């Protein structure tokens, strides 16, 4: 079974600064997907960024980028130029790919990020 660990329960960052959220996972699979989801107080779970394990290049989406270290089973999220709207709970998640059905997400416990004005 796969496990996802987010050891930092809370983090705080000043607006416009950069923050890195950590995530480690454990799996015996070689091919898989990793995700960071954002859940603001509105509760809607929003996909921030995804990484395919077979790709060596780290994924980037505007101000969000990841540092994917496959051998170390580490998947951190870097948020640059933090904005007040980034305040939310962030979840790291793992998925073993299949034909579409039977693809479940395994989530970490999440980290609460607060952006200070």
Partner 1 sequence: DAGVTQSPTHLIKTRGQQVTLRCSPKSGHDTVSWYQQALGQGPQFIFQYYEEEERQRGNFPDRFSGHQFPNYSSELNVNALLLGDSALYLCASSSRTYEQYFGPGTRLTVT
Which residues contact partner 1 (rule: CB under 8 A)?
4, 6, 33, 37, 42-47, 50, 91, 93, 95, 97, 99-110
Mapped onto helix, strand or coil, the DSSP state of residue 85 is helix
DSSP lists the bridge partners of residue 68 as 75
Q: What is the DSSP string of 2-19?
A: -EEE----EEEEETTS-E
- Smallest distance, Å, CB 94 to partner 1? 11
Cβ-based nearer residue to partner 1, 74 or 80 = 74
Output 32 or 79, the one with its CB closest to partner 1. 32
């Amino acid at each position: 079974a796969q496990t996802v660990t987010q050891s930092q329960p809370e983090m705080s960052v000043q607006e416009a600064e950069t923050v890195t959220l950590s995530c480690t996972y454990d799996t015996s699979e070689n091919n898989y997907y990793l995700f960071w989801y954002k859940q603001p107080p509105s509760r809607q779970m929003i996909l921030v960024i995804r990484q395919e394990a077979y790709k060596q290049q780290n994924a980037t989406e505007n101000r969000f980028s990841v540092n994917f270290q496959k051998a170390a089973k580490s998947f951190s999220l870097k948020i640059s130029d933090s904005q007040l709207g980034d305040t939310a709970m962030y979840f790291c998640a793992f998925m073993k790919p299949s034909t579409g059905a039977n693809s479940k997400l395994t989530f970490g416990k999440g980290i609460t990020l607060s952006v200070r004005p």
